Amino acid sequence: MEQKEIFDKIVHIIKTSVEKGKDVDMQMDTVLVTELAMDSLDRVLLVSEIEDTFDIEIQTEEMGSIQTIGDIVESIDAKINQ
């Protein structure tokens, strides 16, 4: 799966599950906490959606290093394209 396809799926998940996601023009460098106003619960729910969508597991330790949409895309890309 190409990173563009992963990005598009992530954007769709965010737009449908994060309140402010509908109003933000998302890019790879979009910051989850500041630009999307995501709190820790939002991030946990997002990770759960991502795990279900891509059939992967994201460890709790990894969640702390995920700051941008690009971080999510790279993490998923590494897991599914090993």
Which residue in 76, 68, 57 sits closest to 4, CA to CA? 76
Catalytic residues: 39
**Rounded to whole angstroms, how far apart are CA atoms 80 and 82?**
6
